[in-house]
Amino acid sequence: MSTCTDMRIDPGAVIHPEARIDCDIFCAGKGAQIGRCEIVAHVVHIGENTRIADDVVIDVSGGKTKRSTFRCGPDCLLARWVYINACQPVVLGEHACLSPRAMVFTHRYWQSVMEGYSAAFRGVTIGDDAWIGAGSQVMAGVSVGAGSILMAGSVAIQNIPDRELWGGVPATRRAPAGEQVRSGGWLEDIYLKMVQHADYQFGTSVHVSLNREHEAIYLSGKKGLGIFLYPGSPTQIRIMPKPDTMDVHQLHVLDMVRDVVRRFGIRKVEVCSE
């Protein structure tokens, strides 16, 4: 059900017929996928190839005004049960991810300010490549920097700089983003992100498996494609067949692997053939 004054759906965008959209201005970019969710705001812009899962709620609790806006760049993911309060502006950069049950708040108000309690109405910005972990909360006025990670179950009450790992209640700095990955400690997190991207981009044509004994991730696909990912320092990607003999599908899978690794803060990658 849609009640929008101005609604623009670009070619290839798909909206679930049971999605509830109540906006003055609504735009969905090319290839966007919007599930059975609820979106209420003044202005909403969904970037190209962004995926909004079922049971996501974007609402204006705290009051709907001209500042009640939600904008996300291309290639973002809002996983199931994500909640975003957009009574003030919420902006997601390119390829930002909100994991299941993550929450974003743009107001802090309940008890009476006449009795000395504080209140806040401020927007939230989540930068390019940022990852908000499952069950975590981003509070009013907080900015999460590009490439940063907020660990699952954390509460961010202050700005997070670019490319840092934060966690806890309240969240504090733990390490530069990617540092624990390079030491091998986050192998499972890379694996889960790889599964997510492979399923979204390639469906059943690519299988991802985790080998904890050898600290490696293995991707297999049609025509004998095999990609072995060894997160280390430097990270190694071992592939077969050789890149110069790969078809278009296989090259796309390899690009996806490189992209996921880069988003964990790993810049130095060696690619070699088995």
The confidence score (pLDDT) of residue 223 equals 57
| CA gyration radius, the chain | 20
Average pLDDT over residues 190-194: 76
pLDDT at 92 over 80: yes
DSSP 36: S
Instruction: Sort 171 into a burial class: Cβ within 10 Å, 0-12 / 13-18 / 19+.
Output: buried
Residue 224 has pLDDT above 80, yes or no: no
Q: Quick check: 87 pLDDT over 60? A: yes
- Residue bearing the bigger pLDDT, 187 or 103: 103
Say how far apart CA 16 and CA 71 lie, in whole Å: 19
CB 145 within 8 A of CB 164: yes
| Number of residues that make up the chain | 274
pLDDT at 176 over 50: yes
**Model pLDDT, residue 268:** 55
68-82 pLDDT, tens digit each: 999 998 989 999 999
* Cα separation of the two ends of the chain: 53
Q: How many helices (H) and strands (E) does the chain have?
A: 3, 28
pLDDT of residue 230: 66
pLDDT at site 33 = 93
Give the pLDDT score at 180.
47
Report the alpha-carbon angle 82-72-138, nearest 5. Answer: 45
pLDDT band at 225 (very low <50, low <70, confident <90, very high): low
Given a cut of 80, whether residue 118 has pLDDT beyond it is no
Residue 27: partners with Cβ closer than 8 Å, 6 or more residues away: 7, 8, 9, 10, 44, 45, 46
pLDDT of residue 232: 57
pLDDT for the residue 183 = 44
